[in-house]
């Protein structure tokens, strides 16, 4: 069964001096401020499209890796994944770095690397972001 998730942005003003809010409608977990300076300079307590992409990518990748490891008979005790999404004004998103550290009993470092590469290639968010370079750093703890 397919699911649809919704977020809504309210924006006022021009790009450089305007601002807005983005609400996570489906979950209802919050409304967050956005602005050009918070996107292109310092966050200053506001989010950005790139931070929201990073949240989506790190959670999707973690789910895909967990599923793949469990399917291979080596479920993870824990995975910690961060996604660094780089935004260059005038150019756009120039790359994403996924960094995962996993505690997975009964698996070698090589097997963990292979599982992480498979998860990177097959997680739905990675597939949606094929227009940018995605780099993976995986470490078995």
* Mean pLDDT, rounded, of the chain: 96
Coil, helix or strand for 85?
strand
* Helix runs in 3-77, H state only: 36-40, 49-71
Q: What pLDDT was estimated at residue 107?
A: 96
d(CA 71, CA 67): 6
Q: What pTM was estimated for this model as a whole?
A: 0.94
The tens digit of pLDDT for each residue in 92-118 reads: 999 999 999 999 999 999 999 999 999
Compute the distance between CA of residue 37 and CA of residue 16 in angstroms, rounded to an integer: 7
| Six token digits for residue 89 | 């004004």
pLDDT digit string, tens, across residues 64-97? 999 999 999 999 999 999 999 999 999 999 999 9
């Amino acid at each position: 069964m397919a699911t649809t998730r919704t977020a809504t942005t309210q924006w006022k003003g021009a790009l450089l001096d305007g601002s807005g809010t983005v609400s996570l409608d489906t979950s209802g977990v919050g409304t967050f401020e956005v602005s050009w300076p918070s996107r292109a300079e310092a966050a200053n307590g506001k989010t950005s499209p790139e931070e929201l992409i990073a949240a989506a990518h790190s959670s999707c990748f973690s789910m895909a890796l967990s599923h793949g490891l469990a399917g291979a008979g080596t479920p993870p005790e824990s995975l910690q994944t961060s996604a660094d999404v780089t935004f260059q004004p005038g150019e756009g998103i120039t790359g994403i770095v996924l960094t995962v550290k996993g505690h997975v009993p009964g698996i070698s470092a090589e097997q963990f690397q292979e599982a992480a590469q498979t998860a990177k290639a097959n997680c739905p968010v990675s597939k949606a972001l094929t227009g940018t370079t995605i780099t993976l750093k995986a470490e078995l703890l």
